[in-house]
Structure 1
Amino acid sequence: MCELLGMSANTPTDLCFSFTGLTRRGGQTGPHKDGWGVAFYEGKGVRLFHDPEPCATSAIAGFVSQLPIKSKTAICHIRQANVGSINLANTHPFTRELWGRYWVFAHNGQLPHFVRHVGMYEAVGDTDSEEIFCDLMNQLRQNLPRDAMPLQLAATLTRLAQEYAQQGVFNCLLSNGDWLFTFCTTKMASITRRAPFGPARLTDADVAVDFAAETTPNDVVSVIATEPLTSDEQWHIYQRGEWRLWQLGEVIASGQVEVPEYHNGQRL
């Protein structure tokens, strides 16, 4: 399995603290050593970094962890390969253009026998994750209007996510820069930090930060991860089939749908 990291904030915020914790799981404190990637939205643009090397020892990851790129929305993924070769084309997050915006997607799980619907979007690599993303984009393009509102999009995304979860483990992050959609089949957690801010310490690295010194009283920053990244904060643990739509650090819609239960990737 892989691990996910997402951020939604009401002000441009850097991901350095959370990213540092996640990278340790990419070959040091965890087995996710088969590549990594991160996407930072900057207005309508996206700044992307990908590397098929273990992120715990990647020089590029080390550079990014020290680079205070500020974004309101970010998506990161560290890979433990199950389907597809270990190469640059197969590193998440994946991106495609739809309705004049870059859409970014990262997936944790396996749908090894997945076959996408016919459409204009095709995979470049050979992962089931990218095939799912292309299928999702094809269905959005074919079934929704260009000016679909976020809640209308959320309803369609939830229906598709529920369908994918019938075929295998489907934990995902998806964004077009305006919002961040999160869906959980097996593992996901989130935390929203707002005033009064306090200190936090990473679980996977001897690193701590006092957010009170790094923020303003109006800041709202939410972090979503496969598993909690800090040891001294209270994280919300997603339930099976739970989804949330985030915008500017807040949950603007949420719900829970029925999905199969999986253990070690196998349906119970």
Structure 2
Amino acid sequence: MCQLLGMNCNVPTDIAFSFRGFRQRAGVTDQHSDGFGIGFFEEAGCRLFLDYQAASESPIARIIDHYPIKSINVIAHIRKATQGVVSLANCHPFQREMWGQYWLFAHNGDLKSLPPELGKGHFYQPVGSTDSEQAFCYLLEKLRSKHEKMPSSEVLFAELKEITSTLAEFGVFNFILSNGKFMFAHCSTNLSYIVRKAPFTTAHLLDEDVTFDFSTVTTPTDRVAVIATLPLTDNETWTKFEPDQLIMFIDGEPVLEQNCPHSRPSKATTNTCSS
């Protein structure tokens, strides 16, 4: 399976601590070695770093370790390929423009029965050969066809819930999606989150013997939500998503939650990655 990592905050924050443990899963503590990517929103802009090398070995990943970038929304992905060759074009997160905003999307799952024509729309078409990018294009195409401009967060959440239910019929569909303001996370099988806020304490990584004291770099009003396929620390309490649950995060906390039931059982039974 691939693994996902997301961060949504109320103040610009660096993801260096979480990413340090996360990238160990790309060949050191796990086998997600077929490429990685990480995207940072900065106001209307977006920095996107991709590499087909394993995140545990990539020089680009080491840059992130030594050059912390502060952002309100971050999405990262480490890949274990099942559909699509190992290549830069198949690395997540994928980026597109919609309503004058950048959108980032990363997927963990396997949509084996996705129709080839789905995702090849008028505005959005895949560049690579993954069903993940195909699903992303379909999702954006459906949203753009219904709205000429950005709808309210409540309407967007409702629309996304409906589209997610449709795509989840074709297999495992864990994903994280963001436009730099909101972050949406959907769980088919495995996804957990934690909200760090005052009083801040120390955290210890699961994948590396590293401890960090967040009280040394935060203020009492800071709030940070971290979302991951599997918990990244072993001394904090993570909240596991329910199956088929969609959550929207704003300013470092979950604000909308709803299940996205689909009309037939998932084609896939394991949490493998399609990317």
Shorter-chain TM band? over 0.9
Which of structures 1 and 2 has the larger relative contact order (alpha carbons within 8 angstroms, sep 6+)? 2
> How many residues were matched structurally?
266
Contact kept in structure 1, 2:37 and 2:92, CA below 8 Å: yes
Q: What pairs with 1:1-268 in structure 2 (closer than 5 Å)?
A: 1-115=1-115, 116-117=118-119, 118-259=121-262, 260=265, 263-264=269-270
Deviates more, 1:57-66 or 1:175-184: 57-66
Deviates more, 1:75-84 or 1:155-164: 155-164
Deviates more, 1:105-114 or 1:78-87: 105-114
One-letter amino acid of the counterpart of residue 178, structure 1: K
Counterpart Cα distance in 2 of 1:150 and 1:200: 32
Deviations 1:184-229 (A, max 9, x none): 0000000000000000000001111001111111100000000000
TM-score (norm 2): 0.94
Contact kept in structure 2, 1:40 and 1:73, CA below 8 Å: yes
Please provide the CA RMSD for this pair. 1.2
Matched residue SS, 1:174: strand
Runs of 5+ consecutive residues of structure 2 not aligned to the other structure: none
Sort the Cα spacing of 1:47 and 1:265 in 2 relative to 1 into closer, same or farther, 3 A. Answer: closer
Contact kept in structure 2, 1:200 and 1:210, CA below 8 Å: yes
Contact kept in structure 1, 2:194 and 2:226, CA below 8 Å: yes
Q: Give the % identical residues.
A: 43
Deviations 1:212-249 (A, max 9, x none): 11111110000000000000000000110111101110
Contact kept in structure 1, 2:187 and 2:241, CA below 8 Å: yes
Runs of 5+ consecutive residues of structure 1 not aligned to the other structure: none
Deviations 1:105-164 (A, max 9, x none): 000001123131532211100000000001111111101241301111111111111111
